[in-house]
Amino acid sequence: MSDELELLDDTLAAIFAKHFDRSARTAAGREFPRDLWTLLDKAGLTALGGDGAGLTELVVLARAVGRAAAPVPLVETAGLAAWLVAEAGVDQPDGITTCAVGHPDDDLRVVRDGDGWTVSGTLHRVPWGSDSDHVTAVVDGTTLVVLPATQVVRRGVNLGGEPRDTLEFRDVRAHAVVDSPVGSDALRERGAVLRAAAMAGAMESVLELSLTYAGEREQFGKPISSFQAVQQHLVAIAEETLCAGMAVRLAAAASPEQRTFAAAAAKNTAGCAAQVVTRRAHQVHGAIGVTDEHALPWFTTRLWAWQDEFGSAREWAGLLGRGVIADGGAGLWPRLSASVGTGEDG
Amino acid sequence: MIEFRPSALTDDEEALRTQVREFVAAEFPSGTYLPELGINAAADAEFSRRLAARGWVGMVVPEEYGGPGRSATERFLVVEELLAAGAPVGAHWVADRQTAPVILSFGSERLKREFLPRIVKGDAFFCLGMSEPDSGSDLASVRTRATRTDGGWLLNGRKVWTSGAQYCHYAMTLCRTSPQEGRKHVGLSQLIVDLRSDGLTVSPIRLLNGQHHFNEVVYEDVFVPDHMVLGEVGSGWHQVTSELAYERSGPDRFLTTFPVLRYFLDFRRAAGPEAELRLGALAARYWVLRNMSLSIARALDEGQVPAVEATLVKDLGTSFEHDVLDLVRDLAGGEQDPDGDLFDRLLAEATVTAPTFTLRGGTNEVLRTVAAKHLLREKRRAV
């Protein structure tokens, strides 16, 4: 990593470690950690994707969120909403601006109203929808809508306990409605890469926890890490974690023409890795790992949620596979061995 | 914490690859030949010399020893093209992959001058005298021993699974040069043994499909002159383990079955949701593993010794080579026919030789044990 990226990584890690330790997490329960958010905001991190940060920086950010299991919508605000808004040339709205995920049941309708627009319809499973002041959505593939997130009809969560709320709009005056240079496919792609990055971060923590636990826990008079059966679990966890991390970094470094391929490969890899990592890590930890007295579930429950968000491993595999079949035998090797770019090409 | 980093190719590297790709496309048009399977590839000394004439054998050997002085990354780019096409790389394989680098690292000036120019020309082929009837994964327990004699050593013992000894010129032989007292890793040395020496017998150990790949090599009072000892007498274990980053991380550890997949796509029909899903996941894995393997070549060029990274990539890559076969067999359907068309024959051969993928160069289980100990040690150190 470059010095700047390392600084970003260290800054996030320090904020999460110092201001959201175990007791703060327990005390907060499902309350939005307002103090933590204020710190992130003051550090200039909550709108990073709108301040010229590229995918490489945002991947570092998402990975740090995953590594800390930080219960904040940083990926949605800094990584997605701020980026969408900046790309479309819209003013960043006040407060927390989350990003709708493009749920298949979403049905926003936009109507001209004098010099502005009013919007009606429903957005489903919006991350931190009820804690946000605004929400962005890409409608009809190419229109960016920025709305005040006022009417919450259902508070929900994902398996990791992160808010996934349903928002309803009835003739709501839009903050902005503009043609979006970022289409819904590109949004889903970036969402997939950033979720995969958070997953890679979470898996790194699972690996750390597993190595620590296996080294400390004694049975039959010795640490369980001295058993080869346990060692095989640890190495499989490490391998899949490294694959996910590499896949995500490749997606960030991809040249423009390989961006979709690399994004699909990243989410597919992270999804496949998460299955191996969660299963084996819980096996290493035994019963303590499935209780709220251990940190492992902070990460594994998120991995179980994130593996399906912005497309499952299976969904992205389908896209990749159609490409493989279309390319045929002669096209496959050049595709697989194409050099990544530097990640700076737009 | 270990981390793999993506690495973009330079313009020069892209240009080299274009040259290799053109060469390979001209030599191996799809469907006109039976591809070779990775390092099980047949030996074709003529092909090796054609490659050598282009400067693609012993690429890391510097100019002063007759080589082109190219990087590990450049070698990686050449080798992966050859393996993806199923080229017959068997003859020069070991000399190119590891003998040249270890002679460069540990060899005397005399050994460098004697062997490196010949490796580069494709005139000196090497095999590895490592495993023995009673020493496989536990390599340090080898019993082949060399005893002092006038001007050199007398070598006695027996090596097995020695790939290519029937056509190679030399065997890099790991043996005991002082009796074991205490730690078995002490007192081992590497000797370069001329396979035409008096007292040396090579006999085939046939694979389950009758192919002649492995050999038994028996040494009975084989004289090895002093100057043919690689590096220091007694430092064989250190030298052998330092070879492993070269041996374990390359494209040969994930591309063995790639030609099977390519021939499947070229000569059978892939369609439908199952094919899409499974081929897609396969493509993602190839993409990630190849870039991990490439990043190890880069690390070697930067002077690092990414031994654990190489171990992990070998475990992942060789297991994946099996997955590729399972998938192709499922999608192809029907019964396998070892006398069918080129695809059938290739798939059949891959199926029956697949067990070697995860055995050679250290079984994957032993690799994982080694890697786990490293990870746990690093973790303890970090606390």
The pLDDT value recorded for residue A151 is 87
Q: Which residues contact B325 (CB under 8 A, 6 or more apart)?
A: B257, B260, B347, B350, B351, B354
Cα atoms found within 13 Å of the Cα of residue A212, Cβ hemisphere only? 12
Burial of B265 (0-12, 13-18, 19+ CB in 10 A): buried
To 10 degrees, what angle do helices B307-332 and A228-253 make?
80
Contacts of A336 in chain B (CB under 8 A): 283, 286-287, 290
Whole-angstrom distance, CA of residue A335 vs CA of residue B6? 16
The pLDDT value recorded for residue A344 is 54
Mean pLDDT of B265-288: 96
Q: Are residues A173 and A220 in the same domain?
A: no
Provide the CATH number for the domain around residue A61: 2.40.110.10
Mean pLDDT of B257-284: 96
Q: Are residues A130 and A239 in the same domain?
A: no
DSSP result, A39-92: HHHHTT-TTGGGTT--HHHHHHHHHHHHHHT--S-HIIIIIIIHHHHHHTTPPP
Please tell me whether residue B167 adopts helix, strand or coil conformation. Answer: coil
Do residues B108 and B57 touch, judged by C-beta distance below 8 A?
A: no
Contacts of A262 in chain B (CB under 8 A): 287
Residue among B93, B74, B89, B90 at smallest CA distance from B12:
B74
Q: Does A328 touch chain B (CB under 8 A)?
A: yes
Do residues A273 and A203 touch, judged by C-beta distance below 8 A?
A: yes
Q: Are strands B170-176 and B229-230 parallel, antiparallel or unpaired?
A: unpaired
Please judge whether B7 and A231 are an interchain contact, meaning their C-beta atoms are less than 8 angstroms apart. Answer: no
The pLDDT value recorded for residue A343 is 64
Q: Does A42 touch chain B (CB under 8 A)?
A: no
Residue among B311, B279, B241, B300 at smallest CA distance from B7:
B300
Residue among A57, A23, A19 at smallest CA distance from A40:
A19
The ranges of chain A with pLDDT < 70 are 27-28, 343-346
Please judge whether B376 and A215 are an interchain contact, meaning their C-beta atoms are less than 8 angstroms apart. Answer: yes
The pLDDT value recorded for residue A346 is 39
Q: Does A322 touch chain B (CB under 8 A)?
A: yes
Mean pLDDT of B190-207: 97
Q: Are residues A219 and A158 in the same domain?
A: no
Residue among B71, B89, B360 at smallest CA distance from B244:
B360
Q: Are residues A208 and A139 in the same domain?
A: no
Domains plus CATH for chain B? 11-125 (1.10.540.10), 128-235 (2.40.110.10), 239-382 (1.20.140.10)
Domain boundary among A145, A179, A213: A179
Q: Does A196 touch chain B (CB under 8 A)?
A: no
- Per the document, the length of chain B is 383
Count of CB atoms situated within 10 Å of the CB of A238: 25
Please judge whether A325 and B265 are an interchain contact, meaning their C-beta atoms are less than 8 angstroms apart. Answer: yes
Tokens of B318: 């060789």
CA of B331 vs chain A CAs: smallest distance (Å): 12
Domain boundary among A126, A161, A179: A179
Please judge whether B284 and A247 are an interchain contact, meaning their C-beta atoms are less than 8 angstroms apart. Answer: yes
Please judge whether A335 and B1 are an interchain contact, meaning their C-beta atoms are less than 8 angstroms apart. Answer: no
To 10 degrees, what angle do helices B364-382 and A184-216 make?
80
Do residues B70 and B301 touch, judged by C-beta distance below 8 A?
A: no
Please judge whether B312 and A208 are an interchain contact, meaning their C-beta atoms are less than 8 angstroms apart. Answer: no
Q: What angle do CA B342, B348, B354 make, to 5 degrees?
A: 125
What single letter denotes the amino acid at residue B330? D
Q: Does B269 touch chain A (CB under 8 A)?
A: no
Q: Does B262 touch chain A (CB under 8 A)?
A: yes
Q: Does A242 touch chain B (CB under 8 A)?
A: yes
Q: Is pLDDT at B295 greater than 70 in this prediction?
A: yes
Q: Are residues A168 and A284 in the same domain?
A: no
Please judge whether B84 and A337 are an interchain contact, meaning their C-beta atoms are less than 8 angstroms apart. Answer: yes
Provide the CATH number for the domain around residue A332: 1.20.140.10
Whole-angstrom distance, CA of residue A269 vs CA of residue A313? 7
Q: Does A263 touch chain B (CB under 8 A)?
A: no
Whole-angstrom distance, CA of residue A224 vs CA of residue A291? 20
Please judge whether B284 and A320 are an interchain contact, meaning their C-beta atoms are less than 8 angstroms apart. Answer: yes
Please tell me whether residue B182 adopts helix, strand or coil conformation. Answer: coil
Q: Which parts of B220-333 fold into alpha helices (H)?
A: 236-249, 258-267, 273-301, 307-332
Q: Are residues A280 and A299 in the same domain?
A: yes
DSSP type of residue A156 = -
Tokens of B92: 């020069």
Q: Are residues A198 and A173 in the same domain?
A: no
Whole-angstrom distance, CA of residue A209 vs CA of residue A211? 6
Backbone angle region of B41, left / alpha / beta, with phi > 0 → left and psi within -120 to 50 → alpha: beta
CA of B61 vs chain A CAs: smallest distance (Å): 25
Q: Are residues A133 and A21 in the same domain?
A: yes
Which B residues in the span 44-83 are in contact with A, Cβ-Cβ below 8 Å? Answer: 80
How many helices and strands in chain A, by DSSP H and E? 11, 10
Does residue A346 sit within a domain? no
Does residue A344 sit within a domain? no
Distance set, CA B222 to CA A61, B215, B302 (Å): 63, 17, 40
Q: Are residues A97 and A117 in the same domain?
A: yes
Contacts of A234 in chain B (CB under 8 A): 372, 375-376
Q: Is pLDDT at B340 greater than 50 in this prediction?
A: yes
Does residue A257 sit within a domain? yes
Q: Are strands A97-99 and A134-139 parallel, antiparallel or unpaired?
A: parallel
What is the rounded (10 degree) CA torsion for A275, A279, A285, A288? 100
Does residue A289 sit within a domain? yes
Q: Which of B8-12, B181-185, B269-273, B279-283 has the lowest mean pLDDT?
A: B181-185
Do residues A213 and A284 touch, judged by C-beta distance below 8 A?
A: yes
Q: Are residues A89 and A25 in the same domain?
A: yes
Residue of chain A whose alpha carbon sits nearest to that of B270 = A325
Q: Does B264 touch chain A (CB under 8 A)?
A: yes
Q: Does B332 touch chain A (CB under 8 A)?
A: no
Does residue A342 sit within a domain? no
Whole-angstrom distance, CA of residue B92 vs CA of residue B89? 6
Percent of chain B with pLDDT over 90: 90
Q: Does B205 touch chain A (CB under 8 A)?
A: no
Does residue A27 sit within a domain? yes
Q: Which domain holds residue A272?
A: 184-336
Does residue A9 sit within a domain? yes
Q: Is pLDDT at B39 greater than 70 in this prediction?
A: yes
The pLDDT value recorded for residue A269 is 98
Banded model confidence at residue B68, pLDDT cuts 50, 70, 90: very high
Encode pLDDT of B125-155 as tens digits.
999 999 999 999 899 999 999 999 999 999 9
Which A residues in the span 264-303 are in contact with B, Cβ-Cβ below 8 Å? Answer: 264-265, 268-269, 272
Does residue A323 sit within a domain? yes
Give chain A's domain count: 2
Residue of chain B whose alpha carbon sits nearest to that of A322 = B276
Distance set, CA A312 to CA A67, A74, A193 (Å): 20, 21, 12
Encode pLDDT of B3-14 as tens digits.
899 999 999 999
What backbone phi and psi angles, to 5 degrees, belong to B229?
-75, 130
Predicted model pTM:
0.96
DSSP result, B11-66: HHHHHHHHHHHHHHHHH--TTSS----GGGPPP-HHHHHHHHHTT-SSTTS-GGGT
The pLDDT value recorded for residue A345 is 44
Q: Are residues A208 and A286 in the same domain?
A: yes
Instruction: State the distance between the two ends of chain A, measured CA to CA, in whole angstroms.
Output: 19
The pLDDT value recorded for residue A135 is 98
Mean pLDDT of B346-359: 95
Domain boundary among A120, A151, A179: A179
Q: Are residues A129 and A31 in the same domain?
A: yes
Please judge whether A336 and B280 are an interchain contact, meaning their C-beta atoms are less than 8 angstroms apart. Answer: no
